[in-house]
Each structure stands twice: as C-alpha cells, then as structure tokens.
Structure 1
Amino acid sequence: MMVMVMVGEGVGFQDLPEGCIANVVSLTTPRDACSLALVSSTFRSAAESDSVWDRFLPSDYNDIVSQSTSSSCRSKKQLYLSLCENPILVDDGKKVISLYNVI
C-alpha cells in the first residue's frame, strides 16, 4: 500500500490507512492493543479488528475451538478473552487449553 504525502504537509500517525495502523498494533501485545483503542476512533477501529487479534491467538486456534463445546464468539478479540478466562478441555478431558490473560 502506498501513502502519498505532499512536501511541507504534516501527517500524523492517525492519518495512515486503518490497515497500516492495525498491522502496527498487531505487533504489540493484547494489553497495548486495548490501551491504543482508547487513543482515537481510528485506533479503536484498528485495535478491534480481527487481523490484530488473529496474531494474538495460537496458530492452531481453529482446531482448539473445534474441540470445544462452548459457544462461538463474534470476534477474534472475544475469542482471545474467552480463552483467557475459560480454559477449554480437549482430548476427552485429558488436556486443558488456556491463554494467559495479559490484559
């Protein structure tokens, strides 16, 4: 993605496309993403995006969730928070999957 800036004009971070901001936020931590969501509506929209929370979830989260009987979440952020607060029993109750809640 290309962003054109005229010489002499000041461009703030919030002037970047939401996808760029979301990419930067995804390189932080879940706690930082939640904090950045408080900065502005642009940051909130970027920080709430599934592309950000997809990076915080384990790469095999689809397999983990498919073994669960819990209800589905509407967003990947909700899934992340659910996995932090509600461990999932898998392999006939022989294993527990949980994320460490860092928020």
Structure 2
Amino acid sequence: MNDALELVSVGLCRGIGEDEHMRFDRLFSSGPYELAGRNVAFKPGPKALNNDRPSVGIISLTNTGNELRSVISLEPLSAYESKLVEVLKTADIDLIFE
C-alpha cells in the first residue's frame, strides 16, 4: 500500500478522489509553504508558467490528521526532499528553502 492510501485508510487525510487542485499561478504567488518545519517557496521557469496542465493536485489532512501533525515532531527526510526537487525540476520549477 502506498503512503497516501495508508493515510486515507486510517482517516488522516481525505480520499484520493477528494483531492483539491490549486492553479499553478496561485501556487507560485502564495506561500511560503511549510515542509517538515521549514519554509519553502516555488520558483517557476517559463515552461512551468506555460504548462498545459495549469493545476496541481493537493492531498489535505483531515482534522484528526492536522491535530496529530501539530503534536508530532517532523524532521526533513533528505531522500524525499531530493526526489521532490528532482520531480519539480522536470516541470521547470525550483523549490527554494527559505
């Protein structure tokens, strides 16, 4: 079972079919966002700004998930960060750690 489905199965995030979609322009102009206790921002390149898929899917935590997240200490996971940076680069987006 993948991580997202496991979170759904224990009621910590909304179902995969219930994910939200944020337009790229809002993603880039909003923020900074929190990633494991650190602020990050997205810096788009020309390819990202002219993307034919103008939104990104977001999986949101439930109230219970948010409550647990507030009491659990999160630390950056370098393997996850590296993969996230790699995937975003393919979409011409830089992840900036502030």
Task: Give the TM-score normalised by the residue count of structure 1.
Answer: 0.24
Higher helix share: 1
Of structures 1 and 2, the one with the larger relative CO (CA 8 A, separation 6+) is 2
Rg comparison, structure with higher value: 1
Higher strand share: 2
Task: Give the TM-score normalised by the residue count of structure 2.
Answer: 0.25
